[in-house]
Structure 1
Amino acid sequence: MLLVGCPVSWEAWKVSIEYGRLYIVATPIGNLGDMTPRAVEVLKTVDRIAAEDTRHSGGLLKHFAITTPMFALHEHNERQRCGVLIDMLLGGESVALISDAGTPLISDPGYHLVREAHRQGISVVPVAGVSALITALSASGLATDRFCFEGFLPAKSAARRARLELLGDESRTITFYESPHRILDSLADMVAVLGAERPAVVARELTKRFETIKHATLGELLAWAEADSDQQRGEFVVAIEGAIKKESQGLDDEVLRIAQLLRDELPLKQAAALAAKISGEKKNAIYQHLLQAERDG
């Protein structure tokens, strides 16, 4: 029944009648207390749950008394099974996608399914929750106004170093996921390519019993992890402070004084822009100087 006074287009009404919805549901990365009531409700009411590992997710569903049937969808079968799930959705069934932990699709399967759902006109509904990446950044003490996410680095050292070389001049905070059996090798390559003095953070086992967030230089982090085998266990997020662009070097003292006075009264970008206009210096050079000054405290 179409309710009088509800401004619903025919297209939206037609989709709501004929198609199911695909829910992208975030689940806890460790602490089950981080599961949202909305996530529980969605998982209980959908027709099917597409899980990265049904055995792993079975414990989570049991804890919250969720009895919805599960369907395995992982990196090895996503392309083959995507069509089956799309047919379910087109037939009116609702499906929830979950990963082993955290927000689906962030270095987890689901991209092909979500892309095809959009192509078919199926509603894709995010159910927000925990993400290891954002959780680590929020507690890192590194700049979060601009950052980039590189997922997992390559498994082989040569390829890993090549990727890091490409990121050597990246001025944003750089974030990675890493596994326990590669954390030492990755930190060693980061030291070799980016330098032992680059500030960074290793966040391990977030929200779990042995949660550790260590802020130091890359060289210190490598030595710390090498000295304690316990710090080589679990799931890792590594965040590295961005490089300071060379063009921020050599600004005139008077320009720096003006820029800092403006920064005391204005947001960072506005202060840099106005200082550049007054002095004739490049805005980005002044911006980088002010940004580094704030990082240094």
Structure 2
Amino acid sequence: MTGTLFLIPNTLGLNQDQAPDLLASIIPETVQSISAQMGFLIAENAKTTRAYLKFLGQRHPLRLPIQAIQISELNINTPAHALEGLLAPLKQGHDAGLISEAGVPAVADPGANLVRLAHQHGIQVRPLVGPSSLLLALMGSGLNGQSFAFHGYLPTDAALRAKRIKELEERSRKEKQTQLMIETPYRNTAMLEALANHCQGNSLICVATDLTLHSESIQTMTVTEWKKRVAANQLPDFHKKPTVFLFLAQ
């Protein structure tokens, strides 16, 4: 009998002064308890996962010492042929957890292929409730939550990015669909400027930064209003901070 692959959510970031009892406002207690029982984890980065386990262990005693928990890494550099090996503990009957670096696994996260492979092997997959920056941003944006699409990262080349933005705006206009994307945090300013320069003046842009943190900021306004802010250097406080960008053509 195979084990269960638990999809374990992580926080979207922790403030340095955040007390462990505030974790419950982000990760449900039951999810914390299940996470603390894992002896096998699959994570993007073993070091940061151990740091999270240490924080989690202040509220829920871990079943094993952190150094005894087997943490295998799965990231964008993991070759496809290595996925079978990551499922080995599950095939042997052990439960294991797939944990994201931030937010929920397999959404804007490299874990989706492993989840698909688990299904192919008849391994039970159990997603656990936790924060998703994409859904939180959509909820707080005021944009269309009935129809939306996430596009990950747009091209870094300025010309290709401009072309892609115009394509997505046309799609948004035709389908009344909110478009979501993310960017490497140090490129946030360039992304906002690109959206403001290449979208129509009455389109709505939302910038959602540091969701669930004390520094959380969600701002929605028209392209025309954003252009004024950019020209006046009144940018959101989003430099090197995780940010979700959304827009909706009018």
Residue in structure 1 matching 2:5, options 16, 19, 22 = 22
What residue is the counterpart of 2:226 in the other structure? Answer: 221
- Partners of 1:132 and 1:83 lie apart in 2 by 29
Question: Do the aligned partners of residues 185 and 219 (structure 1) sit closer, same or farther apart at CA in structure 2, a change above 3 Å counting?
Answer: farther
Cα root mean square deviation, aligned? 2.0
State TM-score, norm by structure 1. Answer: 0.70
Q: Does 1:34 align with 2:17?
A: no
1:1-297 to 2 correspondences below 5 Å? 18-30=1-13, 32=23, 33-65=25-57, 66=62, 67=66, 68-77=69-78, 79-169=80-170, 170=172, 171-221=176-226, 223-224=228-229, 226-228=233-235, 230-241=237-248, 243-244=249-250
- Partners of 2:132 and 2:200 lie apart in 1 by 28
SS in 2 for 1:22: strand
More helix by share: 1
Q: Name the amino acid aligned to 1:181.
A: Y
Does the 8 A contact of 2:42 with 2:71 survive in 1? yes
- Partners of 2:177 and 2:149 lie apart in 1 by 6
Does the 8 A contact of 1:202 with 1:221 survive in 2? no
Q: Name the amino acid aligned to 2:237.
A: D
Larger radius of gyration: 1
Question: Do the aligned partners of residues 201 and 228 (structure 1) sit closer, same or farther apart at CA in structure 2, a change above 3 Å counting?
Answer: closer
- Partners of 2:160 and 2:94 lie apart in 1 by 43
SS in 2 for 1:60: helix
Question: Do the aligned partners of residues 222 and 231 (structure 1) sit closer, same or farther apart at CA in structure 2, a change above 3 Å counting?
Answer: farther
Q: Name the amino acid aligned to 2:2.
A: Y
**Which runs of no fewer than 5 residues in structure 1 stay unpaired?**
1-17, 245-297
- Partners of 1:219 and 1:180 lie apart in 2 by 23
Question: Do the aligned partners of residues 204 and 71 (structure 1) sit closer, same or farther apart at CA in structure 2, a change above 3 Å counting?
Answer: same
Deviations along 1:183-242, whole A, 9 cap, x unmatched?
22222222233224321110111111221111212343355364348332301011112x
- Partners of 1:35 and 1:229 lie apart in 2 by 27
- Partners of 2:203 and 2:129 lie apart in 1 by 33
- Partners of 1:99 and 1:126 lie apart in 2 by 12
Greater RCO, 1 or 2 (C-alpha within 8 Å, sep 6+) = 2
Q: Give the % identical residues.
A: 28
Aligned length: 226
What residue is the counterpart of 1:274 in the other structure? Answer: none
